[in-house]
Amino acid sequence: MRELGVGLIGTGFMGRAHALAFNNARAVFELPFDLKLAALADADTERAQRCAWAWGFATAHGDWQTLINDPKVDVVAITTPNHLHYPMAMAAIAAGKAVYCEKPLAVSLEQADAMRRAASAAGVVTRVGYNYQHNPIIDLARQLIESGELGQIISFQGEFSEDFMANPVSPWSWRCEAEHAGGALADLGSHLLSMARFLVGDVQSVCADTQTVHTQRPASPGSTEMRSIVVDDQVHALLRFANGARGTVSSSWLKRGYKNHLNFEISGTHGTLAFDQERLNELRLCRAGEDSFQRLLAGPAQPGYAAFSPAAGHQLGYNELKTLEVQELIMALAGQGSTGTDFTAAWEVERLATAIRVAAREERWVQVSEM
């Protein structure tokens, strides 16, 4: 069995999630590679060494380019702030390495386009961290839609809101800078846009409104120095899908009480299904002729679930979804997977997000093909 060396860049929350996912994938799945955690990189060399030891990586680097050049690294996992995705991914592609990058793909559509073109030209496998789509219950939702259980799809209503920026004195961070992030639409809304495309299909045109509610924030915790904020705190958009369905999406990082409220309702001529990420192991389904919704629980009948639990109702969590995403990546590297979000699909999400920003700025309906 050929070895597959993993190189991880970043040691924050997402770095740890990736490390857990790679470790878990080795434990619960029969993989076509002998998976090796080859190297970990962080700008803080001491932290890189500490996390490499704790998470099971063989080597620590204080420089990400050194990790990419490491001959033992075959796939590069990028979990850094958004503005670093482009240079790191482009360097990895140039080195002939597979790339597993967190979302959003880039901080501009131009960067995203260059990344997907470079990956295609190099023939390397790419994946982007839209892990919510790897939930077995989302796979069931897609099956229900594709089987015609809901009839002709006529609407998608979705929201992804959290409250981690609700306090107006929460300090400035890289997420508040347009050149480094992109606001609630990029941070949260990109997941929702990807989900809408995954379940309902391409979006043809959009109309939107965005708002920055808190235009200033403290420069650091407790600081009296204030920094201006221009990225969106909340966004609302109308969608027209290519298949004729209509939709609404909204996203906010100010909505108190919500911690991971990625939810949607999809309605068709024969029924409606509903999902909420805060109850990620269930769907609600109402068919024509029924008076109310029934609850569908995820269980071992859904692909991927049984690797973690032999019984329905025992529940998967965020890290299991990340593990399923890693499994799909590894199978793709073996030529056996095609369901994940690659750089081309992630570019389509960025194109849709760009159309929403243009629609909000110019106060008009925008064709996604204009982007």
Q: Is 360 exposed, middle or buried (0-12, 13-18, 19+ CB in 10 A)?
A: buried
pLDDT by residue (tens digit) across 335-358?
997 789 999 999 999 999 999 999
Q: How would residue 171 be classed by pLDDT, with cut points 50, 70 and 90?
A: very high
The number of beta carbons lying within 10 Å of the beta carbon of residue 256 is 10
Residue 56 has pLDDT above 80, yes or no: yes
Residues whose CB is less than 8 angstroms from the CB of residue 25 and which lie 6 or more positions away in sequence, other chains included: 31, 35, 323, 326, 327, 330
pLDDT by residue (tens digit) across 5-14?
999 999 999 9
pTM above threshold 0.75: yes
Give the integer Cα–Cα distance in Å for 230 and 137.
37
Residue 105 has pLDDT above 90, yes or no: yes
Q: What is the mean pLDDT of the chain?
A: 96
pLDDT by residue (tens digit) across 122-151?
999 999 999 999 999 999 999 999 999 999
The number of beta carbons lying within 10 Å of the beta carbon of residue 163 is 16
pLDDT given for residue 177 in this prediction: 85
Give the integer Cα–Cα distance in Å for 75 and 60.
16
Q: Is 370 exposed, middle or buried (0-12, 13-18, 19+ CB in 10 A)?
A: exposed
129, two tokens: 């961290």
Q: How would residue 369 be classed by pLDDT, with cut points 50, 70 and 90?
A: very high
Angle in degrees, CA 300, 304, 310, rounded to 5: 30
Give the integer Cα–Cα distance in Å for 301 and 310.
9
Give the integer Cα–Cα distance in Å for 144 and 141.
5
pLDDT given for residue 139 in this prediction: 96
State the SS3 of 245-312: CEEEEEEECCCCCCCCEEEEEEEECCEEEEEEHHHCCEEEEEECCCCCCEEEECCCCCCCHHHCCCCC
Average of per-residue pLDDT across 285-306? 95
pLDDT given for residue 339 in this prediction: 85
pLDDT by residue (tens digit) across 230-246?
999 999 999 999 999 99
Residue 178 has pLDDT above 90, yes or no: no
70, two tokens: 């490491």
Domains of the chain and any CATH numbers:
3-131 (3.40.50.720), 133-314+341-370 (3.30.360.10)
Instruction: Give the three-class secondary structure for 302.
Output: coil
